[in-house]
Amino acid sequence: MLKVPKPDLGLPWSNRFLTLGEEFFTRLEPTPLPRVHWVNCHLSFAKELGLPTNIFESTDVLNVLSGGGTFQGSDPVASVYSGHQFGHWAGQLGDGRAIYLGEIQTPRGNYELQLKGAGKTPYSRSGDGRAVLRSSIREFLCSEAMNALTVPTTRALCITGSAGVVYREEVETAAIVTRMAPSFIRFGHFEHFAARGQIDKLKDLADFVIREYSTLLVDPKEQSFYPNEEIKKLIQGNIYALLLYRVTLKTARLIALWQSVGFCHGVMNTDNMSILGLTLDYGPFQFMDDYDKNHICNHSDHSGRYAFDQQPNIGYWNLYCLGQALLPLIKDKDLTVQCLDVYKSAYQEFALESSLKKLGLETIKLETQASDLVKKIDSIMEIQGIDFTIFWRTLSQCVSKIEMTLDKGNPQDRDYFKAVNKMMTHPQAQLLWAKWVPNYLEFLFGQSLSPNEIGQKMLKNNPKYVLRNHLGEMAIQKAQKGDFSEIEILLRILTNPYDEHIEFESFASTPPEWAKSISISCSS
């Protein structure tokens, strides 16, 4: 039998997840793809991780990341979990097409490696365990785009492609994304053992997360949301309640950040929710073009359960499922509810904080005034149906050009926002915008920084480029013909989304009319 070489990544392996025992996973080898090639390799991420500079020059590494072997030190498994899908209990699920290779110790901390699309596992159900090139490109690019937008996310190291075919709505070629994260543990892992009454395994899992990931779970504002000192003592005195409290805050912050960049996840099932508050499982996602609170990005979501404006509520619902799973360990229903209910105030604060940052307003003394300012601009954007990303970028540019002069009358009388005014074509939006601007200027001129300085900060917070559906589609269409150049261009732009990239100005333009017909589903 031919012995397949096991390449060495040059970094130590930990594989902590495997210490939980075989109730949590099944050991198996990935299934290799035929006639493989590189689609794209994220060199700067590899450098961040301290991986060898020539890692992507190795045929052996290409084969391993295409399912054709393992690294020295890796121990591949598929994990089991359960979950609620579209609000209904789905029972046992698991890694149906993702295979964990192991965990490496890097200068940036420990990272697990997963191959998404590496073949059938015991949890594939009726699936083939494969991923198509189309969805692999979308996940690869969006993972890195979100990271550059400072939204917590799993990361993507590379895509490998194949001449092998898979069958979805049509025949497509297969691909594998090598994705990485400190942990891929989901709400569904806890639900799985709770539903089966395996409380000892549930406890093992909770103890493992508390022991290994506590530093990653602490939010900078953790002390801010305890209801009162008595509840604070109860939560801090119960390690499982504290775990739930921390995951609640992480989830609230994550979804507030999604809303701030106009990101629609599309399939917020509990098995797609990260215990570390990371954006996980990029399926039918979309960055909104024209602002529509009711936007549904997943054409399989007929009821609109996962519409853009429902994401905060679904985050809360999913946390209740996690809380129910942890209840046998917390052993106090009222305390569990107290931990979960901090989500409401935490989400509101994180969302307001994000919105004010987009407006360049770091300090407003009265929270009600700040909230009113944000609600009104949100309403204006909704009425106008304005392009979400272009609006915020244009507003930032306008503010950055304001120069203070003391001898030209009332600054509120000047037309600082000509570029935004042109975007307001709806009569009601025009009226509300005209009333909103003086209030905004009053707050703007009340900051410690000059408007020009504030505008420069806004330009570093409101991106010029996001992964719009049509940009991904253009890269996919080229890639399906063997041309991967557009993926490389998009990766360069999306990992520096606040830069001007003048040569790629068209990538920041209003989407073409045909983009409205792009339909994304859970299929991959």
Query: What are the angstrom distances between the C-alpha of 275 and each of 152, 174, 443?
Result: 12, 29, 38
Catalytic residue among 95, 128, 200, 271: 271
* Measured CA angle at 269 (ends 193, 352), to 5 deg: 115
Place of tokens 């009340």: 446
Place of tokens 């295979």: 99
Pairing of strands 88-92, 109-116: unpaired
User: Got the DSSP string for 148-187?
Assistant: HTT--B-EEEEEEEEEEEEESSSEEEEEEEEEEES---BH
CA distance 268 to 259: 14
Instruction: Determine phi and psi for 41, rounding to 5 degrees.
Output: -125, 130
Q: DSSP 3-state assignment of 134?
A: helix
Going 64 to 68 to 71 to 73, the CA torsion angle's sign is positive
Give the burial class of 302: count Cβ atoms within 10 A of its Cβ; 0-12 exposed, 13-18 middle, 19 or more buried.
exposed
Tokens of 425: 């074509």
CA distance 315 to 496: 29
219 catalytic? Reply is: no
CA distance 57 to 42: 13
CA distance 336 to 322: 10
Tokens of 70: 């393992």
What are the residue numbers of the active site? 271
